[in-house]
């Protein structure tokens, strides 16, 4: 499979996972079952009262990261920040609390990293999945693992200062990186872990996070905590054999279904490629949505050529 198909697959995978899962966000698994049996189509609704095919903050912030990286791939934080604030100004519904709090501090004059660090000191609660849901473009644009580790951390820390947010973003992007290279899922995960162990100092708490993640994969819970969310996505892909099945299985657990769907869809998209995205889901996106995703794919491929 060529790289274009994997890059496009990843971006569309995030978008379909988000749009499918948004219907079920904040529902318990039992309610989902009672109301939908198994939800397999993008129908909109949910607490945000979406149109069928409408996506949420997950896809918007991912697109912002893609555009920002294209504008300044060597030092993308400020360029991404401009895109975040531009989007936030449109008054979108359902912005995560951590992101909203950091946006406010940045508007008051702090830099992105200062703002995120200050919020972490104030709340000690910045390990939500709001950084993970937007991180995929790092794996699409940068082709060297050292760049991926650095940028995934730096972009996560624009809002989520907790080390577990950075770790999950780094692991997710490295995993996507090895999947793009054509590895099988288990091999890619093993390579991602060993690369992180190699390049991070021993005292960073990587081992405890790895242990926690592996325990959670045995009984994944779709909460908003970044380690839980990643565990759901990894387990969803490991226990299925297509993008469609992986995304359907994770979103029907309810909870933070749009984000779990987005994160699963992104990985499954680079793994199985764009052609694996069901046509009936793609048809729910309008021309403008398709254009934005295609444009982001082009930008990622362009940066990839420049950095390599
Ligand atoms: Mg969302």
Superfamily of domain 3-38+45-307 in the CATH hierarchy: ADP-ribosylation/Crystallin J1 (1.10.4080.10)
Quote the ligand 1 centre to 216 CA distance (angstroms): 22
Quote the ligand 1 centre to 61 CA distance (angstroms): 10
Quote the ligand 1 centre to 147 CA distance (angstroms): 27
160, with CB counted inside 10 A (0-12, 13-18, 19+), is: buried
Q: How many CB atoms lie within 10 A of CB 35?
A: 11
Predicted pLDDT of residue 281: 98
Q: How far apart are CA 292 and CA 144, in angstroms?
A: 26
From first to last of its 308 residues, the chain has per-residue pLDDT tens of: 999 999 999 999 999 999 999 999 999 999 999 999 999 999 999 999 999 999 999 999 999 999 999 999 999 999 999 999 999 999 999 999 999 999 999 999 999 999 999 999 999 999 999 999 999 999 999 999 999 999 999 999 999 999 999 999 999 999 999 999 999 999 999 999 999 999 887 777 888 999 999 999 999 999 999 999 999 999 999 999 999 999 999 999 999 999 999 999 999 999 999 999 999 999 999 999 999 999 999 999 999 999 97
Full-prediction pTM beyond 0.85? Answer: yes
Q: Hey, is 256 helix, strand or coil?
A: coil
Query: Cβ distance 229 to 256 under 8 Å?
Result: yes
Query: Cβ distance 144 to 181 under 8 Å?
Result: no
Predicted pLDDT of residue 204: 76
Quote the ligand 1 centre to 159 CA distance (angstroms): 16
Q: How far apart are CA 32 and CA 23, in angstroms?
A: 10
Predicted pLDDT of residue 235: 98
Distances (CA, A) of 107 to 86, 102, 222: 12, 9, 32
Nearest to 60 by CA among 51, 68, 52: 68
Quote the ligand 1 centre to 308 CA distance (angstroms): 33
Quote the ligand 1 centre to 138 CA distance (angstroms): 19
Quote the ligand 1 centre to 99 CA distance (angstroms): 12
Predicted pLDDT of residue 247: 98
Nearest to 265 by CA among 19, 4, 65, 95: 19
Predicted pLDDT of residue 308: 77
Predicted pLDDT of residue 18: 98
Predicted pLDDT of residue 205: 82
């Amino acid at each position: 499979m060529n790289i274009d198909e994997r890059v496009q697959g990843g971006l569309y995978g995030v978008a379909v996972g988000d749009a499918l899962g948004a219907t079920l966000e904040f529902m318990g698994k039992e309610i989902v079952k009672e109301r939908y049996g198994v939800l397999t189509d993008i129908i909109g609704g949910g607490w945000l009262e979406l149109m069928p095919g409408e996506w949420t903050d997950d896809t918007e912030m991912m697109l912002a990261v893609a555009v920002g990286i294209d504008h300044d791939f060597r030092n993308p934080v400020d360029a991404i920040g401009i895109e975040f604030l531009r989007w936030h100004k449109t008054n979108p519904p359902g912005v995560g609390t951590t992101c909203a709090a950091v946006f406010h501090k940045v508007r008051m004059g702090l830099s992105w990293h200062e703002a995120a660090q200050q919020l972490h000191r104030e709340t000690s609660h910045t390990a939500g999945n709001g950084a993970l849901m937007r991180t995929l473009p790092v794996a699409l644009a940068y082709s060297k693992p050292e760049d991926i580790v650095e940028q995934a951390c730096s972009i996560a820390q624009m809002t989520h200062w907790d080390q577990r947010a950075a770790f999950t973003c780094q692991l997710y992007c490295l995993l996507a990186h090895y999947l793009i290279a054509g590895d099988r899922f288990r091999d890619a995960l093993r390579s991602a872990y060993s690369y992180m162990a190699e390049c991070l100092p021993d005292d960073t708490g990587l081992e405890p996070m790895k242990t926690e993640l592996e325990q959670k994969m045995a009984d994944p819970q779709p909460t908003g905590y970044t380690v839980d969310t990643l565990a759901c996505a990894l387990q969803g892909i490991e226990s299925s054999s297509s993008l469609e099945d992986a995304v359907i299985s994770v979103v029907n657990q309810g909870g933070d279904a749009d984000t779990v769907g987005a994160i699963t869809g992104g990985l499954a998209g680079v793994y199985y490629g764009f052609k694996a995205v069901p046509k009936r889901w793609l048809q729910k996106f309008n021309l403008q949505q398709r254009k934005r995703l295609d444009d982001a794919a082009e930008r990622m491929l362009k940066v990839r050529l420049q950095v390599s």
